[in-house]
Amino acid sequence: MVRQKIIQTIGKRKKAIARAIAKSGNGVVKINSVPLNSFSTKYIRMWIKEPLMLAGKLSSKLDIDVTVRGGGVWGQAGAIRTAIGQTLVKFDEKLKEKFVEYDRTLLISDYRRTEPHKPSRSSAGSRRTKQQSKR
């Protein structure tokens, strides 16, 4: 009995966290049990597909199942993109250099987070102050 190679990776962007599980298959990519071709808008789909296009033939040999939670639409898309990029690199190390040269966020999660709101003005924003009058 031959054991199948399964890889798990995590991608993060803002408050969104995506977990990708990849195994050998027919190139099916599902996000929260929805096929990639019917997920969100066209522009977001194209952005998520970038690591798959750069990988070429390898992406047609893998089934990737992504679970994403938290954050907004673009934060989730960024997290998914990073998780998929990391899984492809774990299957084929030669892609690492190609991905970093194209866009570093394909492999490394964006560490930036929103600044916490300050007290007494918590609903206004973290840096907003009262408007000053010249006269």
What domains, with CATH codes, occur in the chain? 6-106 (3.30.230.10)
Q: What is the pLDDT of residue 125?
A: 83
Alpha-carbon distance of 123 to 91, in angstroms, equals: 46
Reply yes or no on whether the pLDDT at 1 is more than 90: no
Give the mean model confidence (pLDDT) for residues 111-125.
Answer: 81
Q: What is the dihedral of CA 36, 38, 42, 45, to 10 degrees?
A: -10
Strand 16-24 versus strand 62-69 pairing type: antiparallel
pTM of the predicted structure, to 2 decimals: 0.85
Q: What is the pLDDT of residue 101?
A: 94
Q: What is the pLDDT of residue 122?
A: 72
